[in-house]
Amino acid sequence: MIQNRKIPRIVYLNLILLFLVLGVIFFPEIRDSLGHLTASTKPIAPRKQMQAVQLQNSFRSVYQIAQKSVVSIRTKKTETIHNPYHYFDSKEETVSAVGSGFLIDPRGFVVTNYHVIRSAEIIEIILHNGRVAPARFVGSHERADIALLKIQEGDDYEYASLGDSNEVEVGDWAIAVGSPYGLEKTFTVGVVSAKSREDLDETGQTHIQTDTAINPGSSGGPLLNIYGEVIGINRMIRSASGSSAGIGFAIPINYAKKVIKSIEMNVGKNIRPATLGVVATVPIQHHREALGIPNNEVGVLVYDIDPDSSAALGGLQRFDYIRMANGNVIRNTNELREQVSLAGLGGNLKLNIIRRSKIKDIEITLIEKKYYE
């Protein structure tokens, strides 16, 4: 009896696979067609852009973290608008403005620039999810240009991680997130252009310079490093047009931390600018020898005092050598200026000085200088 045996299906599949392999080997046009079908549709193969993709993913990660803590700040105030042709013809209008800020605490504390909320009658915080929360003024420091606000504690926001601005180096990545021209959660990237720009304005404080795009409305937002840490508070730009020209400045976060502590100790107040009323410098060797100041002593030498100033009324004298102010070592005039600024008008400045080769402590109350004709 003859048996009708069927050929297993696997044999047919193996034969088909064999013919395909032979076709690819002996017929190049078939190989090219198959290669085209399996090739990436991207103009540049991903394997050639590995480093760029890794950097791109780093930026994405920074944004995903930062955008949850960055807020938009909307302010409203009433202004009197005068008719330019009839001075006594005026009317009151409500004027709105937009700035940026960021959450620094799970209790709902928000940091921004003082000039963002100055004279505001209504302050509203727009969170990353679009929720609008009324904000309460906690305090501000006018010269440092920093303000602290408070919104109701909630579980629908995250707060920023504050970094160490002393570790910043020129060439580091610098990333800004804010609301330029009211465009919320705008993300811009650049580098640190300079670490310690001094004497840019009347504040006298140092700034981090960056070419990261900062525009009106970005003020008060964070300047971040590649790890998503806040290294500065975006404050101002240098531009002939009023728009970004690649020269922006941020308040170093280490200085901002000190200012925030000062604000927390003066809740409800705007800490106004104060001056000590001295002309000081780091002494040269001749001065050290003449005044008996040891070479290893860091500090600044007072060589002139403004009459009726805080320094004069507080007992500071010419040729006093200031070693410390409010417990902080003074290495140069900028550090002395910083301590005066932190104390603010009406604050106290505890100085440790060398006077005629003897170390002593004096306390000076920072008062408003009165000028007489």
Tokens of 118: 């100055």
- Which residues, 6 or more positions from 301, have their beta carbon under 8 angstroms from its beta carbon? 280, 281, 282, 283, 287, 291, 293, 319, 320, 321, 322
Residue 205 pLDDT: 82
- Which residues, including other chains, have CB under 8 Å from residue 88's CB and lie 6 or more apart? none
Range 60-66 contact pairs with CB under 8 angstroms and sequence separation of 24 or more = 61/228, 62/175, 62/224, 62/226, 62/227, 62/228, 63/177, 63/187, 65/158, 65/228, 66/160, 66/175, 66/177, 66/187, 66/222, 66/224, 66/228
Q: For residue 269, report the phi and psi dihedrals to the nearest 5 degrees.
A: -115, 155
The model's pTM is: 0.80
The tens-digit pLDDT sequence of the chain (373 residues) is 445 556 666 766 777 777 666 665 666 655 555 555 555 577 888 888 899 999 999 999 999 999 999 999 999 998 777 777 666 677 778 888 999 999 999 899 999 999 999 999 999 999 999 999 999 999 999 999 999 999 998 767 789 999 999 999 999 999 999 999 999 999 999 999 999 888 777 667 899 999 999 999 999 999 999 999 999 999 999 988 888 889 999 999 999 999 999 999 999 999 998 889 999 999 989 888 888 888 889 999 998 999 989 999 999 999 999 999 999 999 998 899 889 989 999 999 999 999 988 999 999 999 986 543 3
Round to whole Å and give the CA distance between 351 and 336. Answer: 10
Enzyme catalytic residues: 115, 145, 219
Alpha helical stretches, state H, the chain:
9-26, 28-38, 50-66, 114-117, 253-264, 285-291, 310-314, 333-343
